[in-house]
Structure 1
Amino acid sequence: MAEDQGSGNGDHQERRRRQRFVAKRWGQVCFWVVINGQRLPLNDLSLEGFSLSAGVPPFGSGAFPFVLQIEGVPDEIRGMAEGMNFVFGEEGGLFGCRFLSFEDDGAGRLHDWLTVHVIATATVRISEKDAAAIVTGPSLI
C-alpha cells in the first residue's frame, strides 16, 4: 500500500478509471463497508473500489475481506479488496481501496446499486440506460 503524506491539497495521482460516487443520498450516508466486524461509512464508491475516512491507515498492505451494505436494504455484497493509498488531509485521512474479487454476482449487484443511486440523486430526470452508462463510464474527475 502506498502512503501519501502530502499536504492534502489534492497533489496525489488519481488511479480510478471509472466514475466514483459520493456515498451519500440526501445528506445521509447510504453506503457502508464492514471490515473486521466494524461497520464504517464510505466516503465514495465505484465499480473499482471505495474510500473511507480514517485517522490512520486502518489496515496493513495485502488483501482483506469486506462486506458492502446499502442503508435500508437487506442485501450485501461480499468480496476481497486491498488498500491502495492513504492520504492525509485537513480533516484526517482518506483510505482508498480497490476491489480484487466479489462473491457470486456481487459485481453485477454493485452495478445495479450504483445505477439506482445515480437515478435517485440526479438533479434532472435520467433514464436507467443513461444512469448505467454513467456508472460504467470513465471518471469525470
Structure 2
Amino acid sequence: MNAEITLAGAEFVQRFSATRRGARLARHLAVHQLDTWGVPYGSGLSDDIAVIVSELAANAVLHGLVPGRDFELRLIALADTLRIEVSDALGERGPEVRHSRPGAESGFGLHLVGALATAWGVKDRGVGKTVWAELATAR
C-alpha cells in the first residue's frame, strides 16, 4: 500500500518539555498527526517517521537541553515530501554523526536518520538550532 500525505501544505507544530517523556509524546503525536493526514499507523512511512522523530527528539532532550526550555516538533507536508524539524534552545554546535564503538548501546541515532531520510541537516535559528530531515511520501 502506498501511503501518501493528502494535505500538501499542512503543518503541525507543538512544543514539548525537554524530558524523555516529552520526546516519547512527540513521537506519539507525530504518528497520530500522520494518520489524520492519510499515512496509516504501522505503515512503512509512518514507522520511518516515528524513528526519525524519536531520534531527533531524544537528541534535543539529551544534547540540546537548556534547563527550563522546551523543544519544538514541526511536521510540514509538502507535495511529495514530509519535512520533520526538531528545534532546541542550545545554539552550540549541531549534531554530528559519530562512529560508535563495537558493542556500544548508543550513538547510532543520526546513522538511522541518515539511512531513512532522503536528506537531513542542521540550521541555526534565533535561539538554538533546528535539526531537520525529509522523506519522500510516495514510495
Shorter-chain TM band:
under 0.3
The structure where helix makes up a greater share of residues is 2
- TM, length-normalised to structure 2: 0.27
